[in-house]
Amino acid sequence: MTFARVMIFSLFVLLAFTGFANILPQVQGDPPAEEEINTGSLDMAGMIALGERLFTGKGTCTLCHNNLGRAPDLLMDDLSQTLPSRLVDARYEGVAKGKNGAGAIEEYLLESMREPSKFVVAGYGKKGTNDTVSPMPVVNKAPVSLSDIEMNAITAFLQNKAGFDPTVPLPSAGEAPAADASDDGDEEDGPATDAVAAIEKFGCSTCHDLEGSEADLGPKLNGIGKRMDDAAIAKSILDPNAQIAEGFEADLMPQDFGEQMRVSELNLIVDYLKKLPE
């Protein structure tokens, strides 16, 4: 009798997980294509537009820079006042210290992307660090992996939003737009073929402490396989607002992973998460 109950329960879990997987619209389709940047014809207006798309898209900036209080709301703040105030903050010791003008703003913004803990705005540091450690990932490394051109584009977008004339250089015709030395030739537009690649592709370690990222914007997932079955883990990815972990807020996690992931990638992530040790 016990064996029969176990078999029935296992069959139910398998059917439920299959049902969640089948709501993914891209089972057979390709994921959104990486934007190809034509560096030879990119003028400053194009850089600004590209920067805005990166800020709200690949750069994942709006995951934290929004009105939920996890980071300064760069889209709503008056950057003409906010950015110059950073340079005269008594705690700031970065490369733009003592400087002013658009060029100093460029240096500050690029530094904040490459070395986010160099200066942490008061109230936005990791808990328990007294605002000395930033929760923001280094954006030119995995999982975000922005190129120099892409960081310059975001800088141009923010400089323009602050009312400054962008000072970043335009890319040359032969400059590679988004190549990363750590890619090892992997095709970015294909499906992830292992769990770590899937974790990086969808930025999971930006918010969760996975693969040594030490991120704490999202809950720790260690031992989740003991608390949730495969179907529940899949649902938490596809419908993250259905059940919010205690101490965390709704809308932190993207709501459109069902549109971005292949079933195979979802399965890789679920299998990875359920095996995390406590």
11-29+183-274 homologous superfamily: Cytochrome c-like domain (1.10.760.10)
| Residues whose CB is less than 8 angstroms from the CB of residue 96 and which lie 6 or more positions away in sequence, other chains included | 87, 104, 105, 107, 108, 111
Mean pLDDT, 10 residues at a time, the chain of 278 residues:
64 60 47 55 92 90 85 94 95 94 97 96 89 90 86 97 96 61 45 88 83 80 92 91 84 81 92 92
pLDDT at 13: 60
Domain residues of the chain, as ranges?
11-29+183-274, 39-177
Minimal CA–CA distance to 201: which of 244, 128, 261, 249?
261
> What six digits make up the tokens of 134?
């930033």
Tell me the residue length of the chain. 278
| Residues whose CB is less than 8 angstroms from the CB of residue 29 and which lie 6 or more positions away in sequence, other chains included | none
Q: What is the CA radius of gyration of the chain?
A: 21
Distance CA 235, CA 16 (A): 10
> What six digits make up the tokens of 31?
């994921």
Query: May I ask the CATH class of domain 39-177?
Result: mainly alpha
pLDDT at 184: 40
pLDDT at 180: 39
> What six digits make up the tokens of 93?
């010791």
pLDDT at 68: 78
Distance CA 138, CA 112 (A): 9
Burial class (CB in 10 A: 0-12, 13-18, 19+), 51: buried
Burial class (CB in 10 A: 0-12, 13-18, 19+), 48: buried
pLDDT at 186: 40
Instruction: Please indicate whether the domains covering 11-29+183-274 and 39-177 agree at the CATH topology level.
Output: yes
Task: Please report, in angstroms and rounded to a whole number, the separation of the first and last CA atoms in the chain.
Answer: 31
pLDDT at 265: 92
Distance CA 210, CA 195 (A): 11
pLDDT at 203: 79
> What six digits make up the tokens of 207?
């918010």
